[in-house]
Amino acid sequence: MAYGLMFALAGAALAAALAGVGSILGVRTAGQASSGLVAEDPDKFGKVLLLTALPGSQGIYGFLAAIIIANKIGLLGGTAVEIDIAGGLAVLMAALPIAITGLFSGMYQGRVAAAGVNITAKKPEASGKAVILSAIVETYAVLGLLVTILLVNGLDFG
């Protein structure tokens, strides 16, 4: 019984941690590129701040998934539900989509955002396009989050 809870917690932890790491790496990459531009032209800070913050959303999605899981297994207020091993593993599996898509989309969105900083440097008026290009990578983290929410929502622990 305790193992069930353990697996469920592992799911929540993976969702928050892996998606968070994705965001860390993504924001780092974009942030480094942004610093380079700001060193040359501090006025563009507002524009590149947006690009730098974009890969940060995966971490929020992972956090969100972890909260949903914690809520599902009754850790947030109320009594914890009893979960058998199969149930715990089910929660773990349900957490994987956002964990994995969050990790990779965060990393790679950071690279697209860093390239977008280039657009902001050369053609400031086109920086909106850089934001959109970068957001296309995020789509798959959004879908991953959606799958995780739907799967967790579908589980029933009575």
Partner 1 sequence: MIAPMTKVQIGIAAPQQAALLSWLQDEEVIHVAPLTGAGEVGDTDTGYLVARVQFALEFISRLRAETGATAKRSLKNMFAGKPIASLEELNATLAKLDLDTVVKDITTASDTLGSVVAEQQTIRQAIDELAPWTQLQITGAQLAGTDNSTLNLVAVTLTQEELWLKSLKNVPTATWQVVKRVVTKKTGTIYYEVVTSRDDQQAILKVIQDTNAVLVTLPVESGQTISERSQELIDQLTTLTKQYASTLKESAHFISIERDLKLAYDGLLHLIEREQTDAATASMPLSFVIGGWVPTKQLKSTEKKLAKVFPSAAMETTEPDKDEVPPVAFQNSALITPFEAVTDIFGKPKYDELDPTPALSLFFLVAFGLALSDAGYGLIMMAATFGAERFFNLKLGMRKMVRLLFYAGFSTVILGALTGGWFGLVLENLPANAVVNTLLKVKLIDPISSPITLLGVAFAIGIVQLLFAWGVNGYDLWRKGKKSSALLDAAAWITMVISILVWVAGGQGVVPAAVGTFALWFMAANAIVLIASQGREHKNPLLRLGSGVLSLYGLVSFLSDVLSYSRLLALGLATGIIGLVVNLIGGMVTEMIPVVGVFLAVIVLLGGHVFNLAINTLGAFIHAGRLQFVEFFPKFMEGGGTPFKPLGRVSKYVDNPRDFG
Distance CA 106, CA 158 (A): 35
- Residue located via tokens 């972890």: 66
Pick the stretch among 17-25, 26-34, 87-95, 146-154 that binds partner 1 (CB under 8 A).
146-154
Q: Do the Cβ atoms of 42 and 123 come closer than 8 Å?
A: no
* Both structure tokens of 156: 């029933």
Task: In angstroms, give the least distance from the CB of 71 to partner 1.
Answer: 9
* Both structure tokens of 63: 């956090």
**Amino acid letter, residue 30:** A
24 binding partner 1? (CB under 8 A): no
Options 46, 77, 78, 158; binder of partner 1; rule CB under 8 A:
77
Site for partner 1 in 114-143 (CB under 8 A): 128-129, 131-132, 135-136, 139, 142-143
Task: In angstroms, give the least distance from the CB of 60 to partner 1.
Answer: 7
Task: In angstroms, give the least distance from the CB of 156 to partner 1.
Answer: 13
